Structure 1
Amino acid sequence: MVERMVSLSVGIMLATSLLHALPEAFESKADNHTLFAVLLGGLLAFFVLEKFAILRHSHHHEDDGHGHHHGHDKKEAGKAGWMILVGDGLHNFTDGILIAAAFLADPHLGLITGLAIIVHEIPQEIGDFIVLLNAGFSRTRAYVYNLICSLMAVVGGLLGYFTLERGMEWIPYVLVFASSGFIYIAVSDLMPQMQRRATLRETIPQILLIGAGVAIVLFLTRHAHHH
């Protein structure tokens, strides 16, 4: 089920970025060269953020020959759990701002952006929940902390709505930055996961689900243009 969600989210995220959010931004009065610079900066920023996340998550295992005292790695896993929560909270807070920007630009774009984020978040939240359990959190604590992190999207959404409403000229740049995140996540994170399942039996559903994701965005976009 998680693998299916990953394939669907690739289609939705790429289509939302390339067929809806980026055209919306470039059709605005914003300078095209600046928008492309924001797109480049966004892609590089997400690359750097992911580098820090990878460095943060790499830790030793017990009895790995590094001579740590017993219990060292359990403590390190606990630290990793807290760092994941902080990172996830900031990520959700940013998602809230991006959804607010999309809604202010075009309510239909807001709905599609929200859908893209939700579809991507489901497998990610499941993964985070498992990591928290491995880090020594109880099921209840892992669930509660994950829920608190998810609510950061609401805080970001409210802040984004009231802040960007006063500075509408910033919305195209926020949309481009959001698109750079969607494209980076789809191409560098989700697609490599899918490439590990290389058999024809696994590839055909992946392609169909990517197509379904694109079709959903196209349907919603055309529906928006008819109203």
Structure 2
Amino acid sequence: MHRPRLTLVLLGLLTAACAEVIHKRHAPLSVEQIEHRLQECPVVQALNEEKIHGAPQSASLTSKLFTVLFPSSSPAINALLATAYISGPPNFLLALCPPNIDPSSLSVMVAFAVGGLLGDTLFHLLPEIFLGEDEPDKVRFVMLEPNRNLLLGVAILVGIVTFTAMDKILRIATGGGGHTHDHSSQEHSNGAATTTATSPKSQEKELRKRKASPKSKVDTPSTTSSQNQSVKLAGLLNLIADFTHNITDGLALSSSFYASPALGATTTMAVFFHEIPHEVGDFALLIQSGFSKRKAMGAQFITAIGAFLGTFIGIFVQEFGGRSGASDDAQATVGIWGTSLQWGDMLLPFTAGTFLYVGTVAVIPELLETGSNKSEEIKKTLQQFGAMFVGAAIMLAISWS
């Protein structure tokens, strides 16, 4: 097959064959306008016909499913539908959860969610951010703009730093506990006794402290009251953190749907897989903080409002904050710091940064915790890695198809 060599030859002729098309007008053109001009070139049109001829005749199963779930042509409506999908079903599943569920039992589900979240970030979000989305009926050209790539990297870093700061503040507010996605370190007070769901190593340290200090053998009423207040504070702070986290989920959904329908659909799947263990873990923490099952479910539905708030913020920024897709007849506008980027283009890399933080710093340390039973830990580790592989493989398969 000589198609690769033929394609290279055709691309090599683009400069000469399309120069007149690109320089039709003396006014500066945006990257999108240059792309549109290139599509008028006969060589590019021939490449488009070849791509259409080689495209599969029928849509894939995932494409058909995404079409059913997101039938609208409006990215705003599809983003709101996606927010409803990630907010409703995971919270309704809480009705099936027993009040005494142990968050540490969710480790395999958490590993699956990590694989899906990192898979979506590495296979979908980052390629879309730097290269753009493929189009089924025409070839696309990537215009190199170094400063644009630098700003996109800055936005990713800002997303990571933002979540790091939030996590740090919550750790300080709770006396070191904080709100990561690891709910196994939260304490549950019951009368004069305090039981912990920490790892075996933490339990050993706590036991040594109690043995070393005579005052710690018996909890006084004031100590018990202080512990109850600390647990309730941790529950309330967890609700605030969950609300904030849901806002970033909404931003991620809106920005991804404005980038492309396929990216929005895959991001919805990744967030959905992540939300199930997240919501169950938060539900268990609220029960430990003294909430009844009904009140805990109600609180989780209230925090789901944050996802819709984030979606509306994202839609507003995309619609009114300017995006790089200008019309062909409009003169090129100068974006952020002289690049082609508009503020609406910064949402997707920001949310990619938050996903990277959640999938690595906030969750993986939980998967690294081990107990004293080596055979049991090896079995659990294999299950976790298997679940993580399946989650990432699903995202890869969707992207590949």
With the shorter chain as reference, the TM-score category is 0.7 to 0.9
* Code of the aligned partner of 2:390: A
Aligned-partner residue type, residue 195 of structure 1: L
Aligned partner (choices 156, 159, 168) of residue 51 of structure 1: 168
Q: Which amino acid in the other structure matches residue 239 of structure 2?
A: L
Structure 2 distance, partners of 1:83, 1:119, is 24
CA deviations on 1:143-190 (whole Å, 9 max, x unpaired) are: 101111113212322332243133333344211111111111221122
Task: Name 2:109's counterpart in structure 1.
Answer: 5
Q: 1:159 aligns with which of 313, 326, 329?
A: 313
Greater helix proportion: 1
In the TM superposition, what is the alpha-carbon distance from 1:71 to its structure 2 partner?
1.9
CA contact (8 A) 2:174 2:233 kept: no
Counterpart in 2 of 1:191?
364
SS in 2 for 1:189: coil
The CA RMSD over aligned residues, in Å, is 2.6
1:24–1:172 contact (8 Å) kept in structure 2: no
Cα gap change, 1:3 to 1:85, in 2 (>3 Å): same
- Larger deviation: 185-194 or 101-110? 185-194
Structure 2 counterpart SS, 1:12: helix
> What is the match of residue 85 of structure 1?
239
Write the letter of the residue equivalent to 1:156.
Answer: G
Task: Note the 1:14-163 alignment, pairs <5 A.
Answer: 14-27=118-131, 31-58=148-175, 69=222, 71-163=225-317
For residue 203 of structure 1, the aligned residue among 381, 388, 400 is 381
Note the C-alpha offset of 1:24: 0.8
Rg larger in 1 or in 2? 2
Output one character per residue of 1:12-55: Cα deviation in whole Å (capped at 9) or x when no partner: 11121122111111125780111112222222222221112222
What residue in structure 1 maps to residue 355 of structure 2?
182
Contact 1:25-1:173 at 8 Å conserved across structures: no
% identical equivalent positions: 29
Question: 1:10 deviation in Å?
Answer: 1.4
* Long gaps (5+) in structure 2: 1-104, 133-144, 178-186, 194-214, 324-341
Give the deviation of 1:102 after TM superposition. 0.5
Return the letter of the residue paired with 1:26. Answer: F
CA distance in 2, matches of 1:158, 1:45: 20
Q: Between 73-82 and 97-106, report the one with greater CA deviation.
A: 73-82
Q: CA deviation at 1:129?
A: 1.3
**1:105 Cα deviation after fit:** 0.4
Q: Which amino acid aligns with 2:360?
A: V
What stretches of structure 1 of length at least 5 have no aligned partner?
Answer: none
Question: Structure 2 CA distance, aligned partners of 1:217 and 1:171?
Answer: 25
Structure 1 Cα separation of the partners of residues 309 and 317 of structure 2? 12
Distance 2:249 2:389 in 1: 24
Give the number of aligned pairs. Answer: 223
Deviates more, 1:33-42 or 1:94-103: 33-42
Whole-Å separation in 1 of the counterparts to 2:314 and 2:239: 21
**For 1:110, what is the secondary structure of its paired residue?**
helix
Distance of 1:97 and 1:43 partners within structure 2:
15
Q: Which has the higher contact order (CA 8 A, sep 6+)?
A: 1
TM-score by length of structure 2 reads 0.51
Report the AA paired with residue 166 of structure 2.
Answer: L
- Is the Cα–Cα contact under 8 Å of residues 98 and 175 in structure 1 kept in the other structure? yes
- Write the distance in 2 (CA, Å) between the matches of 1:195 and 1:81: 24
CA-CA distance at 1:193 after TM superposition: 1.4
Moved more, 94-103 or 126-135: 126-135
CA distance in 2, matches of 1:57, 1:43: 21
